[in-house]
Amino acid sequence: MFIKVWGCRGSVPVSGKDYNKYGGDTTCIEIRTPNDKAIIIDAGNGIRRLGAELLESGIYEFDLFFTHLHWDHILGFPFFRPIYCDKCAVNIYKTHFMQTSVEESLQSIMVNPNFPITLDEAAGQITYKTIEKSGIEIDGVSLEPIPLSHPNGGAGFLITYKDYRIAFLTDNELGMTHPGGLTLDQCAERIKGVDLLLHDTEYKDDEYSKVKGWGHSTISQSIELAIKADVKGIGFLHHNQDRVDDAVDLMVEEARALMNKSGKSIKVFAVYQDMFLSFSGDGLPRII
């Protein structure tokens, strides 16, 4: 079992020398189960490289979950090679917390005049499924949906494998509660004591007043959640498109200072593209 981050940029892909460390591809994470089943969360453009690698490894069945359907989380879907492969089966999951149809949304980005091929013309076997609120287990890995506080709704996931628990909460605004979402306290209760919290920290505190309501959290909100939930580590993600590597480093420094001030020893870092979490040893997942 491992988790690999194929993209952690927010809003729109970026590229260039200023983005080498944290990467420019938008949200996509892979959970590879002990028997090599591929669970994928979100189809940001990070999914393009992932699809190619999985096919090369001889994997032809995929379980693809969507947190929500904002552009940056679906834009890689038409470039996910398995949807064009006639021996591939792609199971696409939606949660009850999503306010729109996944099927309609994916079909709508693959139509004239936006794209040359429709989804119906793609050769892969695509099946749409809905996950119960209690979650789903695939090959020993369970995913339990957690409602996001975000415009148009959505769900993050509590991922459990053996004794490890990881909360993946992208696009989650803790500074206000969007319809269907959780307050900061409710969120802390749901993810209490997880080994690792991967949380949307798109903004610095002094940027927030101009972007309140856009669906994303700040450094101090994420740190407050980590402390209240008593997690062992927090990784920031959904990096703003204008946040170059040095600026992300500064956000982490600021967050570590806040954490030190609180007297807690929770590990704080920023998630980066191609980050790999290994679950092969004892203790906490190892970040490579």
Interface with Zn ion by CB under 5 A: which residues?
A: 70, 72, 171
Least Cβ distance, residue 4 to Zn ion (angstroms): 19
The residue sitting closest to Zn ion, measured at its beta carbon, is: 70
DSSP code of 203?
B
What DSSP line would sit under 106-147, residue for residue? HHHTSSTTT-SS-GGG--SEEEEEE--TT-EEETTEEEEEEE
Whether the CB-CB separation of 93 and 66 falls below 8 Å is answered with: yes
* Residue in this structure with the two tokens 């090599």, named with its chain if needed: 36
What ranges make up the beta strands (E) of 84-232? 89-94, 125-130, 136-138, 141-147, 155-161, 164-169, 196-200
Least Cβ distance, residue 272 to Zn ion (angstroms): 17
Burial of 193 by CB count in 10 Å (0-12 exposed, 13-18 middle, 19+ buried)?
A: exposed
Cβ closest to Zn ion, residue 72 vs residue 224 = 72
User: In sequence order, what are the residues at sequence separation of 6 or more whose Cβ sits closer than 8 angstroms to the Cβ of residue 36?
Assistant: 57, 59
Least Cβ distance, residue 171 to Zn ion (angstroms): 4
Cβ closest to Zn ion, residue 80 vs residue 164 = 80
Cβ closest to Zn ion, residue 70 vs residue 165 = 70
Least Cβ distance, residue 264 to Zn ion (angstroms): 28
Cβ closest to Zn ion, residue 70 vs residue 243 = 70
d(CA 261, CA 235): 18
Least Cβ distance, residue 44 to Zn ion (angstroms): 8
Cβ closest to Zn ion, residue 71 vs residue 128 = 71
Residue 187 tokens, joined:
């969120």
Cβ closest to Zn ion, residue 171 vs residue 224 = 171
Least Cβ distance, residue 155 to Zn ion (angstroms): 12
* Residues β-bridged to residue 272: none
